[in-house]
């Protein structure tokens, strides 16, 4: 095998990832670094202009608190998030983001993002917290600002980060490889900020065959945040709180604009409205069943009950919603026609801005939303702590929001630092702070970057990484190429070979295990202790087999590591599902053997740490302490 060149980059702060949180981190870090004479470097597996979840663009900014208007307070937002997550949330983290998010949104506008305005020049809201945008180029605009702040020399694109560099339990950098050139990269840093997004394709997706790969969340977010932080010894939280979004079926188009802006109903095959007919079910989940808005998982659950009873498909009544709005202009023929055109174009733009495949599906299947309803369905589970899931790292909150009661539990020196010294997390990488979305992830990146620079100012030493560790990591990272080279000629079909497994097959096996035993689509999101134990047994065998993964080229080498990252995301999820002995988020998952919520024992965080030295998992219950509740 050809010798890969080793490229070493020394920096003060390393930002890993180039998505919303990393772009926020870049802007803020550059500002503080300049004042302190420090260097900031960013590394992304893709090209920042279109990397991460916002690659295709978005049609809304889902978190805008609008503090200046006086209509909302930070407490209002915290209440919304706590209720939506069935009581399990870190109020200090949510509040910290809520008080900073508006300024991120104002920056986006300053940088050129078109935000819808009404005739008086006010932002057009989709719902109480959401703003409508012309967001096709959202990511390009946000990335440009980050690039300007850091300078192109400090940005490394198309480098896949695999592992942390560790010295005596502290972070000292990261290693990875170029997806274009035969180069192994060693980044040595005094602090590392992780913003590598969430995880997709851990569970078998609904899309198969020609649609394979299509998912709601981006397939290129593969659990790297979880893997990297687990390997660095950082405590995880809420890894059971996966997110299942209800989406337009097969194209995964978003529903928010339809429910909130167009005020559409969703009805079943019999014309019944599950949100009305199933309302009594909400009594089983009090106090959260009684709050407004009804938590996302419970909204899902009511629809799922219809589907499981054979009352599907569920339809978004787009034609009815559009007609109802246009009817307000019934007395004015010209006004009516104009309004209809406006509504049609808004409906299409919602998808064209952020889920283009849904618009293609509408076009190719002759759907005109003003004439015909479209099916909606619960998607497969994703790991995304920035939306209505909560998985991610357990991080320190800000000092000034803590109470005497929370300070010892939720604060350890630097905002957004994980339990591993020097390792910071933001966006999907940080847990228990849901509903930050694109804007809140950007704001959280800024918060974390400021904390990280402060950490460097206080601990200004580059830990000495020994060469043996680096050489070992290099061998480990590149081994799949060697396995391929040594063995691929041994069989006539390169996909089938006794000496190796290719990453796609590995992914299928992982997805089958998760789908069947850990509550995926085929299992109707239901599992139990025996199934979860079976999943662990099969995942352990899959882990053994990961030693035999082979890669034909650099692209496939990335696929290998993406899938190893997915495997660890899967394992921490299953272990956490097992540990929590109740069902708290029906609509996300259901423990058939423990079908009720247990407020007395489980109004608590479930945290997990993997100890590299022993190979053991440690599961911990941490208290939920409220700061803002009346
Ligand atoms: O409505 C490595 N999101 C929405 N947010 C909104 O504010 N409004 C919306 O309208 C939203 N909708 C939506 C959303 C997402 C998607 C996919 C759709 C629709 C179709 C959510 C936000 O996008 C999300 O909350 C943030 O983007 C999260 O930010 P962050 O920074 O946590 O993740 P990222 O942006 O995906 O970036 C991840 C980065 O990591 C890189 N990366 N780099 C190096 N090595 C590795 N091993 C790496 N692995 C990953 C990626 O390249 C990327 O740069 S709605 O439907 O909900
Ligand atoms: P979505 O398009 O489903 O990601 O939703 C966008 C935003 O609207 C998120 O903040 C959701 O939590 C919120 N949302 C979506 N549907 C509803 C609904 N039926 N009721 C209240 N909030 C909703």
Place of tokens 């993964």: 549
Instruction: From the CA of 218, give the closest atom in ligand 1.
Output: 17
Under a CB-based contact definition with an 8 Å cutoff, are residues 101 and 63 in contact? yes
The percentage of the chain sitting over the pLDDT mark of 70, rounded to a whole number, equals: 100
Residues 441 and 519 in one domain: no
Residues 372, 378, 384, CA angle at the centre, nearest 5°? 125
213: pLDDT confidence band, cut at 50, 70 and 90? confident
- The number of beta carbons lying within 10 Å of the beta carbon of residue 381 is 27
The residue among 491, 628, 569, 600 whose CA lies nearest residue 221 is: 569
Band the pLDDT of 2: cuts 50, 70, 90.
Answer: low
The pLDDT of residue 209 is: 86
The helix (H) or strand (E) run that includes residue 76 is helix 74-84
Is residue 89 located within the same domain as residue 189? yes
- Is residue 613 a part of any domain in this protein? no
Considering the domain architecture, whether residues 85 and 29 belong to the same structural domain is answered as yes
Q: What is the pLDDT of residues 307-352, one digit of tens each?
A: 999 999 999 999 999 999 989 888 888 988 898 899 899 899 999 9
pLDDT at residue 208 greater than cutoff 90: no
Smallest Cα–Cα separation from 110: which of 19, 42, 27, 15? 27
End-to-end CA distance of the chain: 65
Tell me: do 527 and 563 sit in the same domain: yes
pLDDT tens-digit series, residues 569-617: 999 999 999 999 999 999 999 999 999 999 999 999 999 999 999 999 9
d(CA 213, CA 615): 32
Measured distance CA(80)–CA(116) in Å, rounded: 24
pLDDT tens for residues 440-497?
Answer: 999 999 999 999 999 999 999 999 999 999 999 999 999 999 999 999 999 999 999 9
Q: Is the pTM of this model over 0.95?
A: yes
Predicted pLDDT of residue 277: 98
pLDDT in the model for residue 150: 98
Does some domain include residue 467? Answer: no
Q: What is the CATH number of the domain that holds 595?
A: 1.20.58.100
What's the pLDDT at 3?
85
Of all ligands present, the nearest one to the C-alpha of 264 is 2
Instruction: For residue 520, give the 3-state DSSP assignment.
Output: coil
Give the model's pLDDT for residue 629. Answer: 82
Assess whether 177 and 325 both reside in one domain. Answer: no
**Residue 1 clears pLDDT 70, i.e. is over it:** no
Ligand 2 atom with least separation from CA of 60: 6
In angstroms, rounded to a whole number, what is the distance separating the alpha carbons of residues 112 and 141? 7
> Quick check: is 284 in a domain?
yes
Say yes or no to pLDDT of 10 above 60.
yes
Please give the tally of structural domains in the chain: 3
Residues 467, 558, 57: CA angle, nearest 5 degrees: 120
Asked whether residue 123 carries a pLDDT value surpassing 60, the answer given is: yes
Interval 107-123 mean pLDDT: 97
* Same domain (yes/no): 103, 190: yes
* Ligand 1: centre distance to CA 19 (Å): 6
Q: In terms of domains, do 251 and 233 share one?
A: no
What's the pLDDT score for residue 259? 92
277-281 contacts, C-beta under 8 A, 24 or more apart: 278/302, 278/305, 278/306, 281/305
pLDDT in tens, 538-566: 999 999 999 999 999 999 999 999 999 99
Q: What is the mean predicted confidence (pLDDT) over 378-394?
A: 98
Q: Which of 452, 409, 515 is nearest to 21 (CA)?
A: 452
Say which range, 72-86, 266-280, 327-341, has the weakest mean pLDDT. Answer: 327-341
| Domain endpoint, select from 378, 398, 433 | 378
Using alpha carbons only, give the angle 104, 43, 134 rounded to the nearest 5 degrees: 35
Q: Are residues 341 and 207 in the same domain?
A: no
Name the residue at shortest CA distance from atom 21 of ligand 1: 437
Q: Are strands 616-623 and 604-611 parallel, antiparallel or unpaired?
A: antiparallel
Is there a catalytic annotation at residue 126?
Answer: yes
* Structural domain that includes position 282: 246-378
Same domain, 484 and 537: yes
For position 475, what pLDDT does the model report?
A: 97
So what's the pLDDT on residue 280? Answer: 98
Residues with CB under 6 A from ligand 1: 16-22, 43-46, 51-54, 58-62, 160-161, 195-197, 216-218, 221, 224, 254, 256, 354-355, 386-387, 427-428, 437-439, 441
CATH number at residue 407: 3.50.50.60
The C-alpha angle with vertex 80 and arms to 423 and 274, in degrees rounded to 5, equals 120
The average pLDDT across 248-268 equals 93
In a domain, 620, yes or no: no
Return mean pLDDT, the chain: 97
Task: Please indicate, yes or no, whether residues 86 and 126 belong to a single structural domain of this protein.
Answer: yes
Residue 429 lies in a domain: yes
Whether residue 85 is predicted with pLDDT greater than 60 in this model: the reply is yes
Query: Is 408 found in the same domain as 313?
Result: no
| Of the residues 410, 428, 458, the one at which a domain ends | 458
Residue nearest to atom 33 of ligand 1 (CA): 197
Domain assignment of residue 466, yes or no = no
Q: How confident is the model at residue 210 (pLDDT cuts 50, 70, 90)?
A: confident
């Amino acid at each position: 095998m050809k010798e890969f060149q080793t490229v070493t980059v020394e920096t003060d702060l390393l930002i890993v990832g180039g998505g919303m949180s990393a772009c926020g981190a870049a802007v803020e870090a550059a500002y503080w670094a300049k004042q302190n004479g420090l260097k900031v470097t960013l590394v992304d597996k893709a090209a920042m202009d279109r990397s991460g979840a916002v690659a295709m663009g978005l049609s809304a900014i889902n978190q805008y608190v609008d503090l200046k208007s006086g209509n909302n307070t930070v407490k209002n937002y915290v209440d919304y998030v706590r209720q939506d997550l069935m009581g399990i949330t870190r109020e200090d983290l949510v509040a910290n983001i809520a008080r900073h998010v508006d300024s991120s949104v104002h920056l986006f506008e300053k940088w050129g993002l078109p935000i819808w305005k009404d005739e008086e020049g006010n932002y057009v809201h989709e719902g109480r917290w959401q703003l409508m945008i012309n967001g096709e180029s959202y990511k390009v605009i946000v990335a440009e600002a980050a690039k300007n702040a850091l300078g192109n020399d400090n940005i490394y694109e198309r480098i896949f980060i695999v592992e942390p560099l560790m010295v005596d339990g502290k972070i000292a950098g990261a290693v990875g490889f170029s997806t274009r050139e035969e180069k192994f990269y060693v980044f040595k840093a005094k602090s590392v900020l992780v913003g590598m997004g969430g995880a997709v394709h851990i569970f078998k997706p609904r899309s198969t065959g020609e649609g394979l790969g299509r998912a709601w969340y981006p397939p290129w977010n593969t659990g790297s945040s979880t893997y990297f932080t687990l390997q660095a010894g950082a405590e995880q939280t809420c890894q059971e709180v996966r997110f299942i979004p209800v989406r337009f079926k097969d194209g995964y188009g978003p529903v928010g604009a339809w429910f909130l802006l167009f005020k559409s109903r969703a009805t079943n095959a019999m014309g019944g409205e599950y949100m009305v007919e199933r309302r009594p079910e909400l009594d089983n989940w009090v106090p959260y069943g009684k709050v407004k808005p009804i938590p996302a998982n419970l909204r899902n659950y009511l629809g799922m009950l219809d589907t499981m009873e054979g009352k599907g498909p569920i339809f978004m009544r787009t034609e009815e919603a559009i007609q109802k709005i246009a009817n307000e202009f019934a007395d004015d023929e010209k006004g009516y026609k104009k309004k209809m055109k406006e509504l049609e174009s808004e409906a299409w733009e919602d998808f064209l801005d952020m889920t283009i495949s849904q618009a293609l599906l509408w076009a190719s299947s002759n759907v005109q939303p003003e004439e015909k309803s479209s099916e909606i369905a619960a998607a497969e589970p994703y790991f995304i702590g920035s939306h209505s899931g909560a998985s991610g790292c357990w991080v320190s909150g800000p000092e000034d929001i803590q109470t005497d009661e929370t300070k010892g539990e939720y604060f350890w020196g630097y905002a957004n630092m994980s339990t591993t010294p020097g390792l910071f997390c933001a966006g999907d990488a940080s847990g228990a702070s849901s509903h930050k979305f694109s804007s809140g992830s950007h704001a959280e990146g800024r918060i974390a970057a400021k904390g990280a620079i402060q950490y460097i100012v206080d601990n200004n030493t580059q830990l000495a990484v020994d060469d043996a560790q680096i050489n070992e990591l290099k061998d480990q990272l590149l081994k799949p190429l060697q396995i391929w080279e040594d063995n691929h000629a041994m069989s006539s079909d390169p996909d089938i070979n006794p000496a190796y497994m290719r990453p796609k097959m590995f992914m299928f096996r992982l997805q089958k295990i998760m789908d069947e035993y850990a509550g995926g689509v085929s299992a109707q999101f239901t599992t139990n202790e025996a199934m979860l134990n079976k999943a662990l047994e099969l995942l352990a065998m899959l882990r053994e087999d990961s030693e035999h993964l082979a890669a034909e080229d650099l692209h496939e080498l990335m696929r290998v590591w993406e899938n190893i990252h997915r495997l660890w995301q899967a394992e921490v999820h299953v272990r956490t599902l097992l540990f929590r002995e109740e069902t708290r988020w029906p609509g996300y998952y259901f423990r058939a053997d423990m079908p009720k919520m247990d407020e007395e024992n489980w109004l608590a965080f479930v945290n997990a740490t993997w100890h590299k030295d022993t190979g053991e998992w440690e599961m911990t219950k941490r208290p939920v302490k409220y700061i803002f509740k009346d």
